[in-house]
């Protein structure tokens, strides 16, 4: 099982970091969106809310993979490549995270998307492309 290094976990939890989720459709056309709700559930799992996912939801269900890149204001950056596990609409985890998201953006998520970490890379200018896990 691939585990995210500590610095990647910290970057994902940073409030001011930009987090972009990229997917592709059947024709291999990329789609990239900003997802402020994304966080690491543990070292091998990331999760984000479906607040208004359109193409991303469609792409996840079709191609079953996504990449998330986090960029801190100091330009430290990481890319986490994930396999899509599915959406959770109900259950304790969805309820707890739903409350967290509502406090932040005053919107109720439709569901939460779960991904398993497959590869981790640096995307910082100091060592771009270096595989970290």
Partner 1 sequence: MAKIPEDVLEAFEHEKKMCMVATVDESGSVNVVPNVSLKVTGEEQVAFACCFDGKTTNNLKAGRTRVAIAIYKPRAEGFQIKGLLQKLHDSGELFDEFSAQVNPMLEAMGINGKVLHVATIKVREVYALTLPIAGERLV
Contact footprint for partner 1 (CB under 8 A): 18, 20, 22-24, 28-34, 51-55, 63, 65-69, 71, 75, 77, 79, 81, 105, 107, 123, 125-126, 128-129
Residue 6 or 27: the one with the smaller Cβ distance to partner 1 is: 27
Shortest Å, Cβ 22 to partner 1: 4
Please, what is the minimum distance in Å from the beta carbon of residue 81 to partner 1?
7
Closest CA to 6 of 120, 118, 116: 120
In the complex with partner 1, which residue's Cβ is closer, 34 or 92?
Answer: 34
- What minimum distance in Å lies between the beta carbon of 16 and partner 1? 8
Bridge partners for 70 per DSSP: 19, 78
Cβ-Cβ contacts under 8 Å for 77 (sequence gap 6 or more)? 11, 69, 70, 71, 122, 123, 124
CA distance linking residue 4 with residue 59, whole number of Å:
24
């Amino acid at each position: 099982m691939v585990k995210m290094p500590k610095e990647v976990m910290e970057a994902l939890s940073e409030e001011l970091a930009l987090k972009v989720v990229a997917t592709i459709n059947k024709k291999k056309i990329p789609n990239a969106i900003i997802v402020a709700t994304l966080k690491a559930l543990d070292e091998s799992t990331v999760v984000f809310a479906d607040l208004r996912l359109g193409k991303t939801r469609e792409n996840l269900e079709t191609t079953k993979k996504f990449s998330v890149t986090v960029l801190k204001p100091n330009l430290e950056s990481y890319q986490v490549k994930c396999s899509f596990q599915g959406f959770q609409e109900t259950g304790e985890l969805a309820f707890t995270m739903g409350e967290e998201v509502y406090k932040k953006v005053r919107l109720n998520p439709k569901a939460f998307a779960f991904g398993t970490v497959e590869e981790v890379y640096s995307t910082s200018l100091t060592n771009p492309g270096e595989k970290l896990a």
